[in-house]
Amino acid sequence: MTDDKKTYDAESIKVLQGLEGVRKRPAMYIGSTGKDGLHHLVYEVVDNSVDEALAGFCDKINVIITKKNSVVVIDNGRGIPVEKHKQTGKSALETVMTMLHAGGKFDKKSYLISGGLHGVGVSVVNALSKKLIVKIKRDGKIYQQEYERGKAKNGVSVVGKSEATGTEVEFFPDEEIFSTLKFDFETLTARFREIAFLNPGLKIILEDEEKEKKEEFYSKDGLEEFTKWINRTRETLHKPIYFKKEDDGNQIEIVIQYNDSYLDNILGFVNTINTVEGGTHVVGFKTAITRVINDYAKKNNFIKENITITGNDVREGLTAIVAVKLKEPQFEGQTKTKLGNSEIKGVVDSITTLFLAEFFQENPTIAKKIVDKVSQAAKAREAAKKARDLVRRKSAFGFGDLPGKLADCSSRKKEDSEVYIVEGDSAGGSAKQARNKEFQAILPLRGKILNVEKANPHKIFSNNEIASLISAIGTGVTDQFNLEDLRYHKVIIMTDADVDGAHIKTLLLTFFFRYMKELIENGNIFAAVPPLYRIKKGQQIYYVYDDKELEKLKNKIGANVDVQRFKGLGEMNPSQLWETTMNPKTRMLKKITIADAASADNIFSTLMGDKVEPRREFIENNAEYADLDV
291/283 Cα distance (integer angstroms): 12
**From the candidates 139, 225, 498, 617, which is the catalytic residue?**
498
Q: H/E element holding 393? A: none
Tell me the CA distances in angstroms from 50 to 105, 198, 279, one per residue in order. Answer: 13, 10, 22
Q: What is the Cα 112 distance to its own chain's centre?
A: 29
Strand partners, 246: 251
387/393 Cα distance (integer angstroms): 13
Annotated active-site residue 498? The verdict is: yes
**From the candidates 139, 168, 500, 549, which is the catalytic residue?**
500
30/38 Cα distance (integer angstroms): 8
Neighbouring residues of 238: CB distance < 8 A, sequence distance ≥ 6: 257, 258, 366, 369, 370
* Burial degree of 20 (CB within 10 A; 0-12, 13-18, 19+): middle
**∠ at Cα 49 (43, 54), nearest 5°?**
110
Count of Cβ atoms closer than 10 Å to residue 621 Cβ = 9
Strand partners, 141: 138, 161
**From the candidates 496, 579, 596, 601, which is the catalytic residue?**
496
325/323 Cα distance (integer angstroms): 7
625/492 Cα distance (integer angstroms): 24
DSSP summary character for residue 331: B
DSSP summary character for residue 516: -
400/476 Cα distance (integer angstroms): 15
Annotated active-site residue 423? The verdict is: yes
300/271 Cα distance (integer angstroms): 38
Strand 273-274, strand 525-528: pairing: unpaired
Strand 203-208, strand 540-544: pairing: unpaired
* Burial degree of 563 (CB within 10 A; 0-12, 13-18, 19+): middle
The DSSP-derived string for 406-437 is -B--S---TTT-EEEEEESHHHHHHHHHHS-T
27/106 Cα distance (integer angstroms): 24
18/82 Cα distance (integer angstroms): 20
Neighbouring residues of 339: CB distance < 8 A, sequence distance ≥ 6: 268, 270, 275, 278, 279, 280, 281, 282, 324, 329, 330, 331, 332
Annotated active-site residue 174? The verdict is: no
Within 474-540, residue ranges assigned H as helices are 499-515, 517-521
Count of Cβ atoms closer than 10 Å to residue 337 Cβ = 17
Strand partners, 418: 440, 490
46/44 Cα distance (integer angstroms): 6
407 HSE (CA, 13 A, CB side): 21
**From the candidates 170, 194, 423, 453, which is the catalytic residue?**
423
Strand partners, 501: none
Closest of 493, 498, 569, 492 to residue 534, by C-alpha: 569
- Residue positions annotated with a catalytic role: 423, 496, 498, 500
